[in-house]
Amino acid sequence: MRLSCVVNGEEREAENVWEGESLLYVLRERLGLPGSKNACLQGECGSCSVYMDGVIVCSCLVLAGQAEGREIVTVEGLAGEGGLHPVQEAFLETGGVQCGFCTPGFVVATHDLLSRNPGPSDAEIREALAGNLCRCTGYEKILDAVRLAARRMSP
């Protein structure tokens, strides 16, 4: 099938998509956007998190066809012209990145959290990020990153 959707603000099309492919597969293998990751492919790790029409989803659980005509934003679409998004900057600065495989998912999930709740408590941060696994950091520096980003982004 042919798939068309808006990805990171651009109209994109993919040809010869097999009906069983996930949105994650199409992003990674057909649209040249491998930033969203493939750690579990079953909705357990959050490494594949993207926005679909403004709602955060595990793209490994979304069939490609479900994305037809929708608006997708991936981790590659978060940095602005002027450089990194404050969330990305904060992950770098606090040491929230080690191997980095979980990072795209955490960046998208944090971006989503702070857009809904600009001043989250630690308990709220933990709850919001409970669907994202990280095997390297022990989460301490990820918490630091979210707190820092929240401080910087609040007016």
Partner 1 sequence: MTRAQTTPTPTRVGPGPTTFSPGGIGESVRRPDGVPKVTGEFEFSSDMRLDGMLWGATLRSPHPSARIWSMDLSRAEAMPGVRAVLTHEDVPGRKVYGMETPDQPVLAWDRVRYQGEPVALVAADHPETAKRALGSIRVDYEVLDVVSSAEEALAEGAPELHPSGNLLRHVRIRHGDAEAAEARAEVVVRGEYEIGMQDQAFLGPESGLAVPDGRGGVDLYVATQWLHVDQDQLAESLGLPHDMVRLTLSGVGGAFGGREDLSMQVHACMLALHTERPVKIVYDREESFYGHVHRHPCKMRYEHGATRSGELVYVRASLVLDGGAYASSSTAVVANAARFACGPYRVPNAVLDAYVAYTNNPPCGAMRGFGAVQTCFGYESQMDKLAEKLGMDPIELRLRNAMKEGTRLPTGQKIEGPAPVAELLEKLREMPLPEGPGGGTRDLRELPGGVSNTTHGEGVVRGVGYAVGFKNVGFSEGFDDYSTARVRLSVTDDGPLVEVHTAAAEVGQGLVTVEAQIARTELGVEKVSVLPADTRVGSSGSSSASRQTYMTGGAVKLACEAIRRRLFETVAERHGEDPEGLALENGSVVSDGRFVVALDEILGAEPIEETVVHRHVETFPLDEDGQGDADVTYAFSAHRAVVDVDVELGLVRVVELATAQDVGKALNPQAVEGQIEGGTAQGLGLALLEEIQVRDGRVLNASFTDYLLPTILDMPPVRTEILELADPGAPYGLRGVGEPPNISTPPAVVAALRDATGRELPRMPVRPEALVGIADGPPRRRPQPGSAGYGTLGSLEERRDQ
- How near is the Cβ of 19 to ligand FES at its closest, in Å? 19
Residue 99 found at the interface with ligand FES (CB under 6 A): yes
Q: Measured from the CB of residue 57, what is the shortest distance to partner 1 in angstroms?
A: 16
Identify what 22 binds: ligand FES, partner 1, none; CB under 5 to 8 Å per kind: none
Residue with tokens 């929240």: 150
**Strands of 3-7's sheet in order across:** 10-14, 3-7, 71-73, 49-52, 55-58
Residues at the interface with partner 1 (CB under 8 A)? 18, 20-21, 28-29, 33-42, 44-45, 47, 74-76, 78-79, 84, 88-89, 91-95, 97-104, 107, 123, 125-127, 129-143
Task: Report the nearest approach of ligand FES to the CB of residue 8 (Å).
Answer: 19
Residue 45 binds ligand FES, judged by CB under 6 A:
yes
Long-range CB contacts (within 8 A, 24+) of 83-91: 85/111, 86/149, 86/152, 86/153, 87/111, 87/114, 87/145, 87/146, 87/149, 87/153, 89/149, 89/152, 90/145, 90/146, 90/148, 90/149, 90/152, 91/142, 91/145, 91/149
Total residues in contact with ligand FES, by rule CB under 6 A: 22
40 vs 143 by CB, closer to ligand FES = 40
What does the binding site for ligand FES look like in residue numbers (CB under 6 A)? Answer: 38-41, 43-48, 58, 60, 97-102, 134-137
